[in-house]
A and B are shown apart, each in its own frame.
Chain A
Amino acid sequence: MRQSLAWLAFLGLAPFAAAQLPVTVAVTPNPSSVRLGSSLDYNATVANTTNTSVTWLVNDIVGGNSTYGTINSSGLFTAPAVRPIATILIKAKSVADPTKFHQVAPSILNPYPVASAISPAYINVNLPTQLKVTGSKFIAGAQIYNGSTALVTTFVSATELRASLTTSATPGTTLKISVKNPDPGGAFSAQLNLITTPPVTLTVSPDAPTMRLGTTKDFNATVNNAVIKTVTWWAGGAKGGNSASGTIDVNGLYTPPSVLPNPPQVVIKAVSDQDTIAYDATTVNLQHGVPSISAVSPSPMKTGSNTITIDGNLFAKTAKVTIDGVAMPFTWISPTRINLTTTVKLPIGGYSRFQVVNPDPGTAGSSVRAVPISSLKETVSYANAVRFLEQATFGPTPESIQRVIEIGREAWIEEQFAAPQSNYDDATDTSMDLSAMQKDFFRNALKKPDQLRQRMAFALGQLFVVSGNELGQYWKMLSYQRMFIRNAFLGYFTVIKEVTLAPAMGEYLDMANNGKPDPTKGLVPNENYARENLQLFTIGLDLLNNDGTKKLSPAGQPIPAYTEEDVKQLSLMLTGWTYPPQPGVISVWKNPPYYYGNMVPFEDYHDTSNKFLLGYSLSGGRSAASELDYALLVIFNHPNVGPFVAYRLIQKLVTSNPSPAYVNRVANAFNSPSRGDLKAVVRAILLDPEAGTHPGATALPASQGHLREPVLLMTTLLRSLGATATDEPSIANYSQAMGQRLFYPPSVFNYYSPFYRIPNAGVIAPEFQLLNPTTALERINFVHYAVNNSLGSSVTVPVQHFEQLAGNNDILLDAVSKALLRGQMQADMKTSILNAINSTTDSKTRARMALYLAATSSRFQVQR
């Protein structure tokens, strides 16, 4: 074409050149138009010269440049890609006469837009959708068209346009999308297909889950109506989450933060990758994690002040830290560390339970960490302290064990001597039966600190026996039982005298209203009290050596310690006493029964004859009071009394079969320096090597120990297990079922004889008199109720302490051993109990079973 045009120009203009006319140049086409980036072939017709060559310039630049376009020597002009500010001028300049030229200004048109792709390729019906059209040659002001409708278009670049489109077209329709560049030269691109689809929807599951810190959860997004099924996960407003809200990975696996956010909720969102407008979100309710303890240090731990570090995981700042169930102040260091400082006491069974409990939301406790505790200072071994307390109290408690270990036996005894007295409550009215007194007894035995005094009073009450069978009302029994608490550490003579003058004893064994003989009626004094005083309270039937063995006649027979005549004489000496008068009532011989204060004498009813007693004679004519004192002094000074008392109190506290040497040592303490001093007797009994509680105590004799009588079985088990009681523990029915109805011994001979022998076994074992197949079952049944904490509401056994140790066989058995068997459970028992508890995985059952088996075994039933 360029050739043709040149040729036509030559033909038409040639005549003018021959006339030597000025050279002319004419550029065609003119006027012209050219699109940016496109080319146009210009021709220059030069006339009036033979040299028709021209030089092509764009804006006076030979050949042009990229700003204004380029033109080659043939006149082929290529417009620039971008419209320049200045007008584009195409100039052809004659070579023959460079002063001659022709310059034209083509009209510059916008290019044809090229739309090569649209994103998204699918549009949801009725959903405002941002369309992105990519391609080339887009000019600012270009518009995206949906069919023939221009959309409000944002020009991003020559290669990208955007527009928002909302279509209501039927899903499945293909929309035709094109781009039109603006004028000048505005033109459409080719059309692109945009397919309408139903709206994209998402469902995130699980919906509104609750989850704990320390756990992860896999979220799923179900994407509907989309071809592209993938989603992008967000947590707490951040793609992929962050440290405060937790993180969520591309697969939807959410990991909560390490600290609970406030409020404890995090929004989890899934955004459709096809339609980034489409998303679903759900709120995760976060809870505290389940804390765990990996270590407590120090472990083992000593009693006293300790700075303790608890390491583990997921500790909440607002957690509760407990030791044996008691909340402790602490310092929260991190979710994995807590520090605290506290005073540690010896716990039940020697193990303390540490636990961290996170609060709500999702309150949860760590599993229990058992830490072995031992005493800071050990003057007495654990086993010896427990044995000592079994002898001196109603059963060892952790507190008392620690005290004995730390201060030693001797100091503990002195501390007990000085401890304030606990007692029976006042009688509120005369109709109260002894059940209230039984409750007071168990309260004092289970809870009160003056344990040695209470234990001694219990022993003395079984030596100077009265019975509720005849004195079954509180007001009749009260002063009598209080007397033993008051006198537990005083003198034996005082005890004898107060017993003799006690109205309760006066009624029970007929001291009261026992008058002098009445020969006219053939009446003689009642022998009851006189006889039982000699036999049961002071001297006993046979003459004794100081070591408690019987003196023998040359024929090898026991020698009676008193005669029937002594009984009669003593009954005469004790005549003339009646009940104390009630306040405000005139005292008369045979006062009505009244049980407070001592009995009072009436000389008219006192026998004044000459008398003799136990080899001593007493001239007549004396007052009732002076004869009573004399008689009791004669009795008290009988050499039998020391070994008599020593033997019985040793039996009550330590062993049924004391060696004669042991009895001798305790009798010596009774005899001097202060005859009858019960403090000296108690010290001698409890500190004797034969009690087996001194450092380095060696193996006990095979016959050592005594069966725990029912009351002691109960109190020892309960105290050893850390039981708590109300002030009215209602458990006396259990001791009654086991053969010991408290305060109701069957006779003045008590529940059992100090000389009872196990049939065919030879050894003396008083408490075995109460043990028979029936009561043996009652005893193990009591244990069953105790270790299942089902003794009623007045006594609570903290079985959970052991249940929480039951995850570890070694710890459980060690704790049971320490609580019930002085820490000396033998291997055969361990094996047997292990076999039994391994029949179940339930820690509650395991713990209770272990306690039951240890406490029903004879190694617990017998105190040794």
Chain B
Amino acid sequence: MSRKFAKRNFSGQSRREFLLKTGRVVSTVGAAAALAPFGAVNAFAQASDYKAMVCIFQFGGNDANNMVVPMGARYAEYAAGRPSIAIPQASLLSTPTAGGEAFGLHPSLAPIHAHYAAKRLAIVANVGMLVRPTTKAEYKANSVPVPMNLFSHSDQQMQWQNASPNAPSSTGWGGRVADRLQGLNAPSSFPPSVAINGNALQLIGLETKPTTVADGFGISGNDGSAAANARQASLQEMLQFDSGVVLFQAANTVLNDGIAVVKLIQDAASSAGPLTTAFPGSSLGQQLAQVAKIVQIRAALGMKRQIFFVTQGGYDTHDGQLPTHANLLADLAASMQAFYNATVEMGVTDQVVTFTESEFNRTFNPNGNVGTDHAWGGHCLALGGPVKGGDMYGQFPTLALTGPDDSGTRGNWIPTTSLDQYGATFAQWFGVHPIDLPLVFPNIVNFPVKTLPFMV
């Protein structure tokens, strides 16, 4: 069995990390167990259960200002700020906070609206990249470190995924979570992290590597004949050649992974029948359908913890935003609802959480093209049985240009909840011990409050 996915690479890790992980992964007895803090026990106590995190990344910068809108008294403030692209109050889907503040969701989110009242859908307000808690005064005075290259798609997409806004990092926070919990999946060699639509920085760990999975995944020409078997044997033999060339080795590794994963999935595929839940035909819908297929064969794959990453593009709505954004959110909601239905069908609603990320919010102030430009903090959604839904978490910004939350002049909200806190909430639910959170989110040490209470 290939060990590629469980390959140990201790370079660049602290001794503490090494010991912690060794304790978790290898054994519950003897010195290793003694070295492990009690978190390790927790992890093993949960080993009989199953948990999955599904991240939906809204690429392009979701206009969260139109996704979650204040209602009632605060609606006027909203409507005045973006006359050309305001959502009519009457069409909003009411999602009052537990404290009674009136908010509403974009009407396109109707398919998942009912989950709010059912307390499975939570809103997390004004989340974004921060190095540390940052006030407007601090930002204006340039007195605290802030994320590099705010407003750049590529940089902010990377930072949301690697949770490293002020230093390069080639690993993602999901991957670092998987590093810590992959021992629960032992002895399976199926990767703990799966990105459906291509490589995802968020899922790259130091030890664990994500895989991709696709329908019809296979190797053409392998018909079982002696010649085909000889061909495959040679191909795999050559993947082991050490030529000292970095790019050769890297390409070999990926193909080797593909061959291994294909076999694991083919072997496990017969363990469950097809799902009856229907998914939208959109890219996101189909990606989530693929996630559901893998969740369904989780037992045959030997999975106890799985992290998924799916993507939805098109949110860079610089012009003609209203219809574009409405369509995107409609697809998002329909796909999330279909996936929720699939978790019901599979009986894992209480074990799976689905949540959104996006590299940045958009300017509250529209531009001349009935669109919006790049901004900063935005709102996120979390859906699933483990979510303490029916409430808004974090602080909703004051929707005023140059107001207390605006880092500039066009409504670029300075986040009041960092990606670190948002992600750590999921990570802790998933089984990462609070003491280990800085290993996943290096900047979490800068935040007095580590997690938000929106997960059970």
Cβ of B199 within 8 Å of any chain A Cβ, yes or no, is: yes
Complex interface residues of chain A between 777 and 794 (CB less than 8 A to chain B)? 777, 779-781, 784-785, 788
Q: Check A772–B231 contact: CB distance below 8 A.
A: no
Q: Residues of A contacting B259 with CB < 8 Å?
A: 777
Query: In the complex, what's the smallest C-beta–C-beta distance from B439 to chain A, in angstroms?
Result: 16
Q: A771 and B220: CB pair below 8 A?
A: no
On whether the beta carbons of B234 and A832 are closer than 8 Å, the reply is yes
B275 interface residue, CB < 8 Å from A? Answer: no
A412 within 8 A of B: no
Give residues 815-864 of A contacting B (CB, 8 Å): 826, 828-829, 832-833, 835-840, 842, 845, 849, 852-853, 856-859, 861-862, 864
Known contacts A739-B198, A761-B246, A784-B220: A771-B254 contact under CB 8 Å: yes
Does A440 interact with chain B (Cβ within 8 Å)?
no
- Report if A524-B247 is in contact (Cβ < 8 Å); known contacts: A531-B151, A836-B231: no
Tell whether, in the assembled complex, residue B255 and residue A768 are in contact, meaning their CB atoms are under 8 Å apart: no
Q: Which of these binds chain B: A26-34, A122-130, A343-351, A698-706?
A: A698-706
Task: Identify the closest chain A residue to B367 (Cβ).
Answer: A526
- How far, in whole Å, are A617 and B287 apart by their CA atoms in the complex? 50
Asked whether, in the complex, the Cβ of A833 is within 8 Å of the Cβ of B234, the reply is yes
B371 contacts A853, CB within 8 Å?
A: no
Tell me, rounded to whole Å, the shortest Cβ–Cβ distance linking A558 to chain B: 7
- Of the 9-residue stretches B297-305, B314-322, B347-355, which lies at the interface with chain A? B314-322
Asked if A673 CB lies within 8 Å of chain B CBs, one says no
A829 to B235, CA, bound (A): 10
Whether A703 lies near B238 (C-beta < 8 A) is no
Let me know if A541 is at the binding interface, CB within 8 A: yes
Give the complex CA separation of A833 and B238 in angstroms: 9
Q: Point out the residues of chain B lying under 8 angstroms from A845, CB to CB.
A: 227
**Interface presence of A504 (CB below 8 A):** no
Q: Let me know if B213 and A541 touch, CB within 8 A.
A: no
B158 — nearest CB in chain A belongs to which residue? Answer: A753
Given A761-B246, A864-B245, A524 contacting B258 (CB threshold 8 A): no
Contact call B153/A510, Cβ cutoff below 8 A = no
Q: Quick check: A706 and B231 within 8 Å, CB to CB?
A: no
Q: Report the Cα distance A759→B318, complex, angstroms.
A: 32
Q: Given A531-B374, A765-B247, do A776 and B226 touch, yes or no (CB 8 Å)?
A: no
A769 located at the interface, meaning its Cβ lies under 8 Å from any Cβ of chain B in the complex: yes
Residues of A within 8 A of B235 (CB): 780, 852-853, 856-857
Please tell me which stretch of B88-96, B203-211, B444-452 contacts chain A, meaning at least 4 of its Cβ atoms lie within 8 angstroms of it: B203-211
Segment of A85-93, A155-163, A384-392, A514-522 engaged in the interface with chain B? A514-522
Which residues of the partner chain A approach B371 to less than 8 Å between Cβ atoms?
Answer: 510, 526, 528
Contact residues in B for A763 (Cβ distance below 8 Å):
246-247, 250
Q: Which of B221, B241, B368 contacts A525 (CB 8 A)?
A: B368
Question: 1/0 per position for A537-549, CB-CB distance to B under 8 A?
Answer: 0000100000000
Interface string of A543-583 (1 = CB under 8 A from B): 00000000000000010100010010000000000000000
Is A185 an interface residue, CB under 8 A from the partner? no
In Å, the complex CA distance between A656 and B250 comes to 13
Is A611 part of the binding interface, using a Cβ–Cβ cutoff of 8 Å? Answer: no
User: Using an 8 Å CB-CB cutoff, how does the interface string of A691-712 with B read, 1 for contact, 0 for none?
Assistant: 0000000000011111100000
User: Which of B149, B233, B245, B319 makes the CB contact (< 8 A) with A526?
Assistant: B319
With a cutoff of 8 Å between Cβ atoms, the chain B residues found around residue A523 in the complex are 84, 365-368
Closest chain-A Cβ to B204's Cβ sits at a distance in Å of: 4
A411 to B226 alpha-carbon distance, docked (Å): 49
Is B117 close to A, CB under 8 A?
no
Partner of A705, one of B247, B401, B408: B247
- Please determine whether A774 and B227 come into contact, CB atoms closer than 8 angstroms: no
Q: Tell me whether A216 is interfacial, beta carbon within 8 Å.
A: no
Size category, A interface: 35 or more
Q: Does A775 contact B234, Cβ atoms closer than 8 Å?
A: no
* CB–CB B209/A759 < 8 A: yes
Contact between A510 and B318, CB atoms less than 8 A apart: yes
Return the contact of A524 from the options B254, B262, B367 (Cβ within 8 A). B367
Contact with A along B348-377 (1 / 0, CB 8 A): 000000000000000001111101011000
CB pair B220 A781 closer than 8 Å? yes
User: Does A10 interact with chain B (Cβ within 8 Å)?
Assistant: no
Which chain B residues in 104-161 approach chain A with CB under 8 Å?
A: 148-149, 151-155
Cβ contact within 8 Å between B245 and A862? yes
How far apart are the CA atoms of A522 and B233 in the complex, in Å? 66
Whether A535 contacts B204 by the Cβ 8 Å rule is no
How many Å from the CB of B200 to the closest CB on chain A?
9
**Contacts A746-B313, A829-B241 given: A522-B154 contact, CB under 8 Å?**
no
B219 close to chain A: CB less than 8 A: yes
Is B34 in contact with chain A by the CB < 8 A criterion? no
A840-B257 Cα distance, complex, nearest whole Å: 28
Q: How far is the CA of A773 from the CA of B198 in the complex (A)?
A: 9
Is B72 located at the chain interface by the 8 A CB criterion?
Answer: no
Q: B231 touches which one: A514, A770, A849 (CB < 8 A)?
A: A849
B216-231: contact bitstring with A at CB < 8 Å (1 yes, 0 no)? Answer: 0111110000110111
- In the assembled complex, the Cα of A343 lies from the Cα of B239 at a distance in Å of 42
Q: Is there contact, CB below 8 Å, between B226 and A840?
A: yes
Least CB separation from A656: chain B residue = B247
Across the interface, do B199 and A772 meet the contact criterion of CB distance under 8 Å? Answer: yes
**Closest chain B residue, CB of each to CB of A737:** B214
Give A788-803 as 1s and 0s: 1 = Cβ < 8 Å from B's Cβ atoms. Answer: 1000000000000000
Interchain CA distance A514-B251 in the complex, whole Å: 44
Q: Which residue in chain B gives the minimum CB-CB distance to A757?
A: B170
User: B410 at the A/B interface (Cβ < 8 Å)?
Assistant: yes
Complex Cα–Cα for A759 and B408 (A): 35
Q: In the complex, are the beta carbons of B373 and A527 less than 8 A apart?
A: yes
Q: Does B171 contact A (CB under 8 A)?
A: yes
Q: Are B231 and A852 in contact (CB under 8 A)?
A: yes
CB pair A770–B248 under 8 Å, yes or no, is no
The reply to whether the CB of B44 lies closer than 8 angstroms to some CB of chain A is no
Complex: how many Å from CA A509 to CA B369? 11
Cβ-based interface call for B252 (8 A): yes
A567 to B254, CA, bound (A): 39
**Chain A positions within 8 Å of B9 at CB level:** 760
Q: A515-B368, A858-B252 are in contact. Are A772 and B244 (CB under 8 A)?
A: no
Tell me the bound Cα distance from A523 to B9 in angstroms: 53
C-alpha gap A813/B267 in the complex (Å): 36
Hey, what's the 0/1 contact readout for B56-71 against A, CB within 8 Å counting as 1?
0001100000000000
- A136 and B220 CA atoms in complex are apart in Å by 94
On whether the beta carbons of B373 and A526 are closer than 8 Å, the reply is: yes
* A307 close to chain B: CB less than 8 A: no
Shortest Cβ distance from residue B368 to the other chain A in the assembled complex, whole angstroms: 5
Contact (Cβ within 8 A) B206 A760: yes
Query: Which residues on the A side are within 8 Å of B367 (C-beta)?
Result: 510, 514, 523-527
A747 within 8 A of B: yes
Bound: A51/B149 CA distance, A: 175
Chain A residues with CB under 8 Å of B220's CB are 780-781, 784-785
**Which single member of A516, A747, A759, A773 contacts B153 (CB below 8 Å)?**
A747
Minimum Cβ distance to chain A for residue B35 (Å)? 25
In the complex, whether A469 has a CB less than 8 A from a CB of chain B is yes
- Would A784 and B212 be within 8 Å (CB), given that A747-B313, A760-B9 are in contact? no
Residue from B206, B230, B244, B371 with most neighbouring chain A CB atoms (10 Å): B230
A528-B316, A839-B226 known, 15 other contacts, Cβ within 8 Å: A524-B368, A525-B367, A758-B246, A760-B204, A761-B250, A771-B199, A773-B255, A781-B218, A784-B221, A788-B221, A833-B234, A849-B230, A858-B247, A858-B248, A859-B243
Interface, chain B (partner A; CB < 8 A): 9, 59-60, 81, 83-84, 148-149, 151-155, 170-171, 195, 198-199, 201, 204, 206, 209, 211-214, 217-221, 226-227, 229-231, 233-235, 237-239, 241, 243-252, 254-255, 257-259, 261-262, 313-314, 316, 318-319, 365-369, 371, 373-374, 401, 408, 410
25 pairs across A/B with beta carbons < 8 Å?
A: A518-B368, A522-B81, A523-B365, A541-B155, A564-B151, A564-B408, A567-B151, A702-B244, A747-B153, A747-B316, A749-B154, A759-B204, A760-B206, A763-B250, A773-B213, A773-B254, A773-B255, A775-B212, A776-B255, A784-B219, A784-B220, A784-B221, A785-B220, A828-B238, A836-B233
